Amino acid sequence: MRRRWVTVITVIMVCAALLAGCGGTQTGSKESPKELVYASAKDINDMNPHVYTGSNPAQGVVYESLVENTEEGFKPLLAESWEISGDGKVYTFHLRKDVKFHDGEPFNAEAVKKNIEAVQRNAAKHAWIKLSTKIVSCNVIDTHTVQLVLSEAYYPALLELSFTRPYVFISPNHFKDGETKNGVNGYSGTGPYKLTEHKVDQYAVFEANEGYWGGAPKIKKLTAKVLPAGETTFLAMKKGEVNFLFTDDRGTDSIDVEAMTKLADSGGYQIVRSKPMNTKMIVANSSKTNSPVHETAVRQAIWHVIDRETISKQIFKGTEPAAYTLFSANVKYADVDLKKQGYDPEAAQKLLEQAGWVLGSGQEVRTKNGSKLSMKLYYDSNSSSQKTQAELIQHAAKKIGIQLELAGEQSTSIAKRRATGDYDLLFNQTWGLAYDPQSTIAAFTSDSSYLHTTKGIARANELYQKITQVTAAMDENVRKSLYADILRIVHEEAVFIPITNGSVTIVAPNTLQDIGFKQSQFELPFEKMHFQ
């Protein structure tokens, strides 16, 4: 009897081993020197570049814009050159003549017009991008010249035309009934890579566009592999099934700092970090009159109880430097001389005492006219680092008599609170390098973004006036001065309380060269990378 059972178990084990053995060739897909397989927590989704569901990095390699935003300023991309009329209302672009869409359709002024008009017909969805509200017409001058007419001067026009979406170009052959707002039936752009295969929630393959006007990329194949769990991503990297990863759309690393270090220590990988790309911060609701957060002194006190250096060293293991201003100095117009205010509980106590918030003997929470110095701080429940930071801040605040109640919620609920003004304090981050400062600052006036944050401050009207002026200012010095004023006002009012600067992290094979970044945290210049 026993022998029979032993036989059964042996047969099962042999079958399992055989089945496992069958996979040897399939699974051993170690990267060829010309291929990058990157881990992505999400599917690339709908690649229609005129809506917002698709993956930014994927769209970034398939589609291109007229101009490129670089550290040195705007450079030609699909437009070889451009002129701006004296009144700042007419932009004339001279297009490259050697560009074709992936489906063979020529890229010309007519294609630009069709694309821009399709975007404009879906204007409600693009309200965040102010250029969409200023475009009056897009006119074809000749086959390779196109003119964009604006209703008024708008200096960030070139910048917004350089974003990953929506002002990028897809072959008009893929339009549905002349539109893109109801979906497209193909994804041919002009970019260095073509989307050749997509298995939803599994992987997407991008092959080098050999006819790319900028020269065929050296890495011939990019594969985006969907790996939702960080543990699996780490193990897949160790095995070599995946050989590249980078910070996701939300600015979060898909594997933690220790795992990245382990990969680098194993000898096969390098870690590359970009310059600061955004600022992680706490947003204070100045317009909530029935909350202590309405007072400038209280907001400034909270600013002082945040130990940014400890957060940077302990929670982020030194990967995110402490931030003392809303934007880091590498953001255009943000290198402004603002008073550096750091962790200083004594200064915080002094501010509160002066404002009338007193700590009675035997009490833990300060009071003023019978009201408690108590506020609620919302954090993204999916972010482990935000919770830890919130706890650290709560502890420091408690020591000087500020009660912070913590509440973890989904990012969508937090966005809703921000839009409706139903919060005291919440974690947030700036829009990111290419979008900062102008998009983040434009959002100060938007009721779906930061209007509640800013409208309670004493100089709110002055702030909004300057924001309106800055986008129409054609003179560089005037712009600099206006931005400096705007940043000074929000800094002094402590409505955006900076914590750390986030950056893009890449983990890549040691042999990969020319790893770089763009002026955006959402995409990477894969076409410039190559193996040794």
Least Cβ distance, residue 5 to other proteins (angstroms):
6
Phi, psi of 511, deg, nearest 5: -85, -5
Q: Which listed residue (10, 448, 468, 510) binds other proteins by CB under 8 A?
A: 448
Site string for other proteins, 209-248 (x = CB under 8 A): ----------------xxxxx-xx--xx-xx-x-------
Contact 510, 268 (CB under 8 A): yes
Output the CA torsion 36→42→43→47 (10° steps).
-90
**C-alpha span between 397 and 283 (Å, rounded):** 16
**C-alpha span between 476 and 329 (Å, rounded):** 17
Contact stretch for other proteins (CB under 8 A) within 22-30, 106-114, 167-175, 323-331: 22-30
Q: Which listed residue (6, 11, 13, 20) binds other proteins by CB under 8 A?
A: 20
Owner of token pair 């080098």: 208
Interface residues for other proteins in 335-364 (CB under 8 A)? Answer: none
Cβ within 8 Å of residue 243, ≥6 positions away:
31, 36, 37, 38, 237, 508, 509
Question: Which segments within 231-315 are labelled E, that is strand?
Answer: 245-246, 269-273, 278-284
Contact stretch for other proteins (CB under 8 A) within 107-115, 285-293, 407-415, 522-530: 407-415
If the CB atoms of residues 193 and 522 are measured against other proteins, the closer one turns out to be: 522
**C-alpha span between 431 and 186 (Å, rounded):** 29
Q: Which listed residue (75, 199, 395, 399) binds other proteins by CB under 8 A?
A: 199
215: left (phi over 0), alpha (psi -120 to 50) or beta: left
Cα dist. 109→66, 169, 257 in Å? 11, 11, 47
Site string for other proteins, 74-113 (x = CB under 8 A): ----------------------------------------
Burial (CB < 10 A; 0-12, 13-18, 19+), residue 392, is middle
Q: Which listed residue (6, 200, 216, 329) binds other proteins by CB under 8 A?
A: 200
DSSP string, 345-376: HHHHHHHHHHTT-B--TT-SS-EETTEE-EEE
Does 26 participate in binding other proteins (rule CB under 8 A)?
yes
Phi, psi of 302, deg, nearest 5: -65, -40
Does 446 participate in binding other proteins (rule CB under 8 A)?
yes
Does 10 participate in binding other proteins (rule CB under 8 A)?
no
**C-alpha span between 410 and 237 (Å, rounded):** 29
Least Cβ distance, residue 193 to other proteins (angstroms):
22
Does 449 participate in binding other proteins (rule CB under 8 A)?
yes
Does 22 participate in binding other proteins (rule CB under 8 A)?
yes
Least Cβ distance, residue 446 to other proteins (angstroms):
6
Least Cβ distance, residue 337 to other proteins (angstroms):
31
Does 510 participate in binding other proteins (rule CB under 8 A)?
no
If the CB atoms of residues 166 and 292 are measured against other proteins, the closer one turns out to be: 166
Compute how many other C-beta atoms are within 10 angstroms of the C-beta atom of residue 398. Answer: 14
Compute how many other C-beta atoms are within 10 angstroms of the C-beta atom of residue 160. Answer: 23
Contact stretch for other proteins (CB under 8 A) within 45-53, 94-102, 302-310, 501-509: 45-53
Instruction: Give me the residues that bind other proteins (CB under 8 A), please.
Output: 1, 5, 8, 16, 19-24, 26-28, 42, 45-46, 51-53, 124-125, 127-129, 182-183, 199-203, 225-229, 231-232, 235-236, 238-239, 241, 410, 412, 415-416, 419, 443, 446, 448-449
